[in-house]
Amino acid sequence: MDYLCRNVDGETGCLHMLYGDWNDALDALGKTEDETKEFGTGVSVMASLQLYQNCSEICEILAHTGKYTEKIEQYKAVANGLTKGLHKYAVDTNDEGVRRIIHGWGDKMSYKIGSWLDPDGVTRTSSTANSFWAISGMLKNDPSLKETIMSAYKALDSKYGIMTFDKAFSKDMRKYVGRISQITAGTYENAGTYVHATMFAVMALFSMGESREAWRQFELGTVLSHPDCNKSPFAMPNSYFKSDEWCIDGQSFADWYTGSGTVFIKSLIKFGFGICPTLDGLTVQTAATMPCDNATLDIIVKGHPITLKYANEGNGARKYTVNGKEISADFDEMMKTGKLFVKTEDITDNMVIEVID
């Protein structure tokens, strides 16, 4: 945390790109022509939003454990700077007043990526900056940006789910974006569908209360829903490619499980079924809309095997029971679903939580 905080830009309050953006294969935004410096002042909006979320999480951990509590105010100050900086610099507005959350910018803000006007003259949209604007909680500071995020997802929608970018980078963009420009257009990160990035979008949609669209994107990103896709040895491919030029439709040249499979499972558990452990207990935030009438999840939470059961009985209103006893839940206006909280000391072996519509 301290390393990241030391690399927050003094002018914009956002996090320097440094080595590169792992999720989108952009590594040129962190470069500089100044030979006396290792990195420039280029920024990844996604990474800045992740740091914003991390600041909130580390403050909660420190308050919970009672250790290093003197650092809480420091991290809160960084989060406050990120909030101001991201709203000022990461939201790009065109001549018609339409806003866009950009992917990032180069050294000394000399150019923008994923903006209304990228260096190649292209208007381009990226997914991860939009996704983490919602996932990190930044959206709560200005809920009106939900419309901006949903507009971005509409532009990024595809046969296989939300793409990383709606338009590919050509090879002559290497100076500005780096490695991604050398990847065949329509594959991997370069305007392909990267499953873990799609799942970040799914998380964001659930977080914004758009559960019906979240499930649709979840299904598009699921290999079993596409009979003509090739399956990797890990069952879940990390990406899907679609390129008319190369006659590619659903193939993935190489796969690894770490991104696609784990984020797929996390999306299903934390935002679909809604099992979300906290430091003090368990929050149940089952999606407002479920894709089936009955679903069951057996899982271990804080060392206790528990079961969550969902049933749609057509009641018109949702109710919650814990071991047969009905319990009220708080309604989350952003997620458009109820949140049931169970304290750690109340979680027991074989506890059954029922969510009934």
In the chain, DSSP assigns E strands to 43-44, 91-93, 99-101, 104-105, 112-113, 193-194, 239-240, 242-243, 248-249, 275-277, 281-284, 294-301, 304-311, 319-322, 325-327, 330-332, 337-343, 351-356
* pLDDT value at 108 more than 80: yes
Mean of per-residue pLDDT scores for the chain: 93
Q: Could you tell me if 138 and 52 are in contact, meaning their C-beta atoms sit under 8 angstroms apart?
A: yes
Are 106 and 40 contacting, i.e. CB atoms less than 8 angstroms apart? yes
Residue 246 has pLDDT above 90, yes or no: no
Q: What is the pLDDT of residues 50-77, one digit of tens each?
A: 999 999 999 999 999 999 999 999 999 9
3-state secondary structure at position 109: helix
Over residues 332-352, the pLDDT tens digits come to: 999 999 999 999 999 999 999
- 224 has a pLDDT exceeding 90: no
pLDDT on residue 202: 97
- The stretch 307-311 carries a mean pLDDT of 98
Collapse the DSSP code of 102 into the 3-class scheme (helix H, G, I; strand E, B; otherwise coil) and give the result: coil
pLDDT of residue 229 exceeding 80, the answer is no
What is the pLDDT, as a whole number, of residue 22?
A: 63
pLDDT over threshold 80, residue 266: yes
Q: Whole-prediction pTM value?
A: 0.96
Which pLDDT score is estimated for 233?
A: 59
Whole-number Å distance between alpha carbons of 339 and 284: 6
Q: Which of 14, 16, 21, 23 is nearest to 38 (CA)?
A: 16
Angle between helices 146-156 and 195-207 (to 10 degrees): 150
- pLDDT higher than 80, residue 21: no
DSSP result, 234-278: TSS-SEE-EETTTTEES--SS--HHHHHHHHHHIIIIIII-EEE-
Overall average pLDDT of the 34-47 stretch: 95
Give per-residue pLDDT as tens, 315-334. 989 999 999 999 999 999 99
Asked whether the predicted pLDDT for residue 258 surpasses 70, the reply is no
286-322 core/surface letters (b: 16 or more CB in 10 A; e: else): bbbbbeeeebebeeebeeeebebbbbeeeeeebebeb
Q: What is the pLDDT of residue 257?
A: 63
What would the mean pLDDT of 100-116 be, rounded to a whole number? Answer: 97
Identify the bridge partners of residue 8 per DSSP, sorted by sequence position: 15
